[in-house]
């Protein structure tokens, strides 16, 4: 298995710049003392940074426009259309961050739940845009631990005709094991993340991690 250091250098893993602002936001959401209101507020801020970074990796084509001064500006435009796909439930927390920057964006949903005892994922439901195979897909899930859930979701996307090189996995915290598994199993997948943590505990929770993202964001436990 690749080490954390090797994962951090992987060309298809894009780690957000570890600025003091991001580290302060992550310190708030990782803290056991942070209540639900602040958890939502600061997680949303990091999600916004992740979505913006994800968009940085989408392909563009040259586009020349004219400014109000009658001058030409050699710019670019996004090539093609995008959609989001959230892995329910925690991934739904990332949908608004995507909507905030891409108005009217289509969002597919895949309900996958890990068994609390075995950490094995089960697929319960999926509903995707009918033209998803022609879109660039931002796959949304804040937590990547073993990689079982995300990999099951990518199988669903494959079955819907999505090519792997069109999938950008937007993630808040991952483990070296999970990232290594995803990057090896899906050789064209790209991952955008805010943190690569040390590993997992005996219950397959990310350490140091932030606990159960879905429970903290949606107020269940
Ligand atoms: C969490 C998380 C991921 C998954 C990560 O979801 O949102 O989907 O676990 O773990 P893995 O990489 O080992 O599969 P969970 O099934 O706990 O459900 P939730 O979204 O309702 O919190
Ligand atoms: N899901 C979470 O919400 N947290 C973890 O640490 C692992 C899976």
- Model pLDDT, residue 1: 87
Helix (H), strand (E) at residue 123: strand 121-127
Architecture of domain 4-59+78-218: 3-Layer(aba) Sandwich (3.40)
Per residue in 136-182, pLDDT (tens digit) is 999 999 999 999 999 999 999 999 999 999 999 999 999 999 999 99
Q: What is the set of active-site residues?
A: 114, 118, 212, 215
Give the mean model confidence (pLDDT) for residues 47-72. 97
Question: In the predicted model, what is the mean pLDDT of residues 16-33?
Answer: 98
Could you report the predicted ipTM of this complex, rounded to two decimals?
Answer: 0.98
pLDDT in tens, 77-117: 999 899 999 999 999 999 999 999 999 999 999 999 999 99
Ligand closest in space to the Cα of 144: 1
Contact 156, 91 (CB under 8 A): no
Residue 221 banded pLDDT, cuts 50, 70, 90: confident
Query: Is any atom of ligand 1 closer than 6 Å to the C-beta of 211?
Result: no
Indicate the pLDDT class of residue 133, thresholds 50, 70 and 90. very high
Average pLDDT on 15-26 reads: 98
Q: Work out the number of other CB atoms within 10 angstroms of the CB of residue 175.
A: 26
Q: 């950008």: which residue's tokens?
A: 168
Q: What are the residue ranges spanned by the domains of the chain?
A: 4-59+78-218
Taking only the tens place, the pLDDT of each residue in 176-218 is 999 999 999 999 999 999 999 999 999 999 999 999 999 999 9
Ligand nearest to C-alpha 145: 1
Q: Is the CB of 147 under 6 A from ligand 1?
A: yes
- Burial category of 157 from C-beta neighbours within 10 Å (exposed 0-12, middle 13-18, buried 19 and up): buried
């Amino acid at each position: 298995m690749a080490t954390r250091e090797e994962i951090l250098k992987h060309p298809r893993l894009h780690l957000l710049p570890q600025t003091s602002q991001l580290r302060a936001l992550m310190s708030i959401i990782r803290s056991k003392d942070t209540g639900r209101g602040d958890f939502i507020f600061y997680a949303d801020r990091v999600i916004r940074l992740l979505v913006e970074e994800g968009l940085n990796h989408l392909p563009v084509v040259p586009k020349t426009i004219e400014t109000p001064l009658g001058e030409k500006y050699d710019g670019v435009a996004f090539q093609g259309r995008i959609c989001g796909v959230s892995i329910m439930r925690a991934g739904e927390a990332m949908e608004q961050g995507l909507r905030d920057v891409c108005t009217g964006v289509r969002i597919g949903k895949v309900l996958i739940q890990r068994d609390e005892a075995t950490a094995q994922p089960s697929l319960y439901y999926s509903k995707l845009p009918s033209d998803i195979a022609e879109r660039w897909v931002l796959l949304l899930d804040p937590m990547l631990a073993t990689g079982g859930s995300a990999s099951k979701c990518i199988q669903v996307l494959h079955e819907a005709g999505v090519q792997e090189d069109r999938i950008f996995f937007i993630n808040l915290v991952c483990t070296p094991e999970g990232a290594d598994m995803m990057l090896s199993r899906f050789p064209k997948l790209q991952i955008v993340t805010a943190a690569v943590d040390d590993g997992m505990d005996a219950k397959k929770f990310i350490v140091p991690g932030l606990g159960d993202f879905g429970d903290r964001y949606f107020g269940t436990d």
